[in-house]
Structure 1
Amino acid sequence: MIDQDTDVPKAGALDEEAERELEGVPEHLREGGANGADAEPQDDALASLRGDLDAARQEVLYARAETQNVRRRMEKDVQDARNYAATGFARDVLSVSDNLARALDSLPADLREDERLKGFVAGIEATQRELEKVFAQNGITRIAAKGLPLDPNQHQAMLEIPTGDAEPGTIVQEMQAGYMIKDRLLRPAMVGVAKKPE
């Protein structure tokens, strides 16, 4: 005979409790669990999600790399703009420097000593020195030429001069000074190059 006082849950109560426990579990997992026929679709779905996650990670890495490249390129462009903004202006001012140098070179030595012209000559020389100082402050430097081998990156050969005093290919005459602005060519030096006498 069964004791009726023992707490045996009724069939309906058991179903309610089991339902509460399975409340958050998806329907396809409630029956049969992860074993059997349902395991394969779950593995496929998990593999697909992992593949999607890996692809998303790769895309994020590529996007980051591209962003860094764009930022570096922009920083370089900004730096170049700062360094070389005055290139056009500097090129125009070089002709002023050339004319000052020509004016000084054209003065004969006896006129330089003339008391009436001493102040005038001193003024032109001071102007030329000031111009060279401004060039130096802005990274504009004169290209060395005479006595050096011809460098096509900095010198432009205008003529060949037959001579036995210098090795062929050596610069023996400078017709116009060349200049660099920082590490870029502003204007090539126009030069005469030695060649073997015939």
Structure 2
Amino acid sequence: MTDTSQDLREETAEGAPELAEHDGHAARLADLEEQLAATRQEVLYAQAETQNVRRRAEKEAVDARAYAATSFARDVLSVSDNLERALASIPAELRGDDKFKGLVAGLDATGRELAAIFTRNGIARVVSIGEMLDPNKHQAMMEMPSDQPPGTIVQEMQPGYTIKDRLLRPALVAVARAG
């Protein structure tokens, strides 16, 4: 029995390093698989973040192109307002006078050209008179007695404008008073 137990001990001693080595490889393989899964997840997150950054940059570039003229357009609105006031202040008898026909025609042509430029650049006038007050487009400056329903715009002191879908300047208006 001594020989058999000796043989058994030798076989066990010989197999133990192989078994231990196999367990070590299995543990190392499991560790590497976990690292690979974590790395794959990180790569997916990085790709998603890169795609989000790209989309944001594209949207910002589109917005920048669409609204690049916003501050310039605000400045030009005062020129448009002054031109409209100048045309409105010309009395009818001067409009018919031969001496002033050229001046009036030139001012009218300038007003039409300015309106065409506004249209080409997506600048539109806000509709006000007869509309209900919309705080997103109108700024109420005063209330006036009127036969219109309360909150209806009855007078426009200064026109409002939008550029594309954004408000460029609110319309300054008077609204009908309740009661």
TM range (shorter): 0.7 to 0.9
Flag structure 1 segments of 5+ consecutive residues without an equivalent: 1-30
Q: Which amino acid aligns with 2:58?
A: E
The separation in 2 between residues aligned to 1:156 and 1:32, in whole angstroms, is 90
Deviation at 1:131, TM superposition (A): 0.3
Structure 1 partner of 2:5: none
Distance 2:110 2:84 in 1: 10
Please point out which of 108, 112, 118 is paired with 1:129.
112
What's the TM-score, normalizing by structure 1?
0.79
Which secondary structure state, in structure 1, belongs to the residue aligned with residue 150 of structure 2?
coil
Give the whole-Å Cα distance in 2 for the aligned partners of 1:167 and 1:47.
77
Structure 2 length normalisation: TM-score? 0.86
1:46 aligns with 2:21: no
Mark the runs of 5 or more structure 2 residues left unpaired by the alignment.
Answer: 1-13
Task: State the partner residue of 1:110.
Answer: 93
Deviations 1:23-48 (A, max 9, x none): xxxxxxxx749973333322221111
User: How many aligned residue pairs are there?
Assistant: 166
What SS does the aligned partner of 1:71 have? Answer: helix
Q: CA, structure 1 residues 147+32, in 2 after alignment: closer, same or farther (shift >3 Å)?
A: same
Amino acid at match of 2:36: L
**CA deviation after TM superposition for structure 1 residue 161, in Å:** 0.9
Which one has a bigger Cα radius of gyration? 1
Partner of 1:6: none
The within-5 A match list for 1:139-150 is 139-150=122-133
Residue 172 (structure 2) pairs with residue 190 (structure 1): yes
RMSD: 1.8
Per the alignment, residue 161 of structure 1 pairs with: 144
Residue 116 of structure 1 and its aligned partner are, at CA, apart by 1.9
Counterpart of 2:41 in structure 1 is: 58
Once residues 129 and 34 of structure 1 are traced to their aligned partners in structure 2, the CA distance between those partners, rounded to angstroms, is 95
Counterpart amino acid of residue 176 in structure 2: A
Distance 2:15 2:156 in 1: 95
Structure with greater helix share of residues: 2
Query: Moved runs in structure 1, 4+ residues, more than 4 A?
Result: 31-35
After TM superposition, give the deviation of residue 110 of structure 1 in Å. 2.4
In structure 2, C-alpha distance between the alignment counterparts of 1:196 and 1:83, rounded to whole Å: 41
The residue type equivalent to 2:150 in the other structure is P
Residue 179 of structure 1 pairs with residue 161 of structure 2: yes
Measure, in 1, the Cα distance between the counterparts of 2:16 and 2:156. 93
